[in-house]
Structure 1
Amino acid sequence: MSLKKAYLLVILVLVIDQISKIYIKTNFKLDEEIYVFDWFRIHFIENSGMAWGAEIPGAFGKLLLTVFRIVAVGGIGYWLYDAVKKQSSNFLVVAVALILAGAVGNIIDSVFYGKMFNDSYGQVATMFSDDPYGKWFHGKVVDMFYFPIWEGNLPSWLPIWGGNHFTFFNAIFNVADVAISTGVGILIVFNKKAFSK
């Protein structure tokens, strides 16, 4: 795959990611949810930290995370360039391009959204508001896809979790997360083909 095609894939994923996030942010209140199917919902949340809502504590935790992501994206971008120049497998190039697109998509939220939007608590956010909710590099990542495929109480005979309420699959994520997961999945499932050279 050429570098041009790899960059086009990155740009396509980024455009879809940002359009979906901006649409959700400017049309949904925080925690608002619509049912597409019982097992698929659009549920608007904001993630101020890492995957699964984890956070780095302290005043500089969010800034540190954002700077780390930017440095990591630089490394992933070089990996993509190097893989194309070495004419690596298309499996590797596509996987790295998807990971890069997803990482950049979430960085855009972290860097710009705090200054681009006002708060979503109890209201639909306004883009380019005079009263932004945060600062540069302190934005929250917009998530919206929710697939609670099964929800109920676990059997009481199960150790530790028995009798507790359980939802499978309870993660809420976005297009960028899908791109990263797909890229990593390609590297795992097609490992021998991806790294054949």
Structure 2
Amino acid sequence: MNLKKASLLIIIILLIDQISKIYVKTHFVLGEDVTVFNWFKIYFIENNGMAWGTKLSDFLPFITDRTAKLSLTIFRIFAIIGIGYWLVNAIKKQQSKTLIIALVFIFAGALGNILDSVFYGVLFDDSVGQVATFLPPEGYDSLLHGKVVDMLYMPIWKGYLPEWIPGIGGDYFTFFEPVFNVADVAISIGFGILIFFNRKAFGKKEQL
């Protein structure tokens, strides 16, 4: 895969991710949901931290939430620069197509969420109790303090776990509980390729 094809795939993933986020942000009130199937809902939430809504301040209680958010956003920017360098280098060295595709998905997904964190605070107003406006006179926060938009919710199964399961038997459980977005899916696909096709990704280069 050459740089042109990789760039095209990145743009397609980014467009799907950002269009879906902007649509939800400008049509849903925070916490609103629409049932598509019994096991799939569009459920609008905003993630102010890391994966699963974790915050950096949860691990470093001596820093404020805003400082933690800013630090996380800056870290993500440097991380995506590193991933981008790895991707371009892999293409130039004609490394395996499997590795390049995995890096394309990871880079596109990470960039999609970075755009939320960097720009959404100034591009939209608040979604609490109202549908947000795109390009309002004043955004809901400053640059680098935006929240990541999540909307894909797949509660495939809900119920009480059997009593015989140690520790959690009898508890009410939902599978799959996290709410995520297209960028998260892209990142997961990329890491999945690296894990399950590790030998092809890091083995001898393939004929492209």
- Classify the TM-score, shorter chain: over 0.9
1:157 CA drift (Å): 2.6
Give the aligned partner of residue 44 of structure 1: 44
Equivalent in 71, 80, 90 of residue 64 of structure 1:
71
Q: Does 1:178 align with 2:179?
A: no
1:63 CA drift (Å): 0.4
Give the aligned partner of residue 6 of structure 1: 6
Equivalent in 111, 121, 124 of residue 114 of structure 1:
121
Q: In 1, distance between residues paired with 2:149 and 2:47? A: 6
Aligned AA for 2:111?
A: V
Residues 148-159 of structure 1 aligned to structure 2 (within 5 Å): 148-159=155-166
Equivalent in 123, 126, 134 of residue 141 of structure 2:
134
3-state SS of 2:44 partner = strand
Q: In 2, distance between residues paired with 1:34 and 1:173? A: 15
1:75 CA drift (Å): 0.4
1:81 CA drift (Å): 0.5
| Two-structure CA RMSD over aligned residues (Å) | 0.8
3-state SS of 1:60 partner = helix
Mean Cα deviation higher: 156-165 or 91-100: 156-165
Q: What TM-score, normalized by structure 1, do the two folds share? A: 0.98
Equivalent in 152, 157, 163 of residue 170 of structure 2:
163
Q: In 2, distance between residues paired with 1:192 and 1:11? A: 28
Equivalent in 63, 67, 86 of residue 79 of structure 1:
86
- Divergent runs of 4+, >4 A: none
Q: In 2, distance between residues paired with 1:193 and 1:158? A: 38
Q: What TM-score, normalized by structure 2, do the two folds share? A: 0.93
Give the aligned partner of residue 25 of structure 2: 25
Equivalent in 171, 196, 202 of residue 189 of structure 1:
196
3-state SS of 1:72 partner = helix
Give the aligned partner of residue 104 of structure 2: 97
1:158 CA drift (Å): 2.0
What 5-or-longer segments of structure 1 have no aligned partner?
A: none
3-state SS of 2:141 partner = coil
- The superposition leaves residues 97-120 of structure 1 with CA deviations (integer Å, 9 ceiling, x where unpaired) of 110000000000000001111111
Mean Cα deviation higher: 45-54 or 130-139: 130-139
- The superposition leaves residues 135-192 of structure 1 with CA deviations (integer Å, 9 ceiling, x where unpaired) of 1000000000011000011122322111111000011100100000000000111111
Percent identity between the two aligned chains: 61
Aligned length: 197
Q: In 2, distance between residues paired with 1:11 and 1:137? A: 22
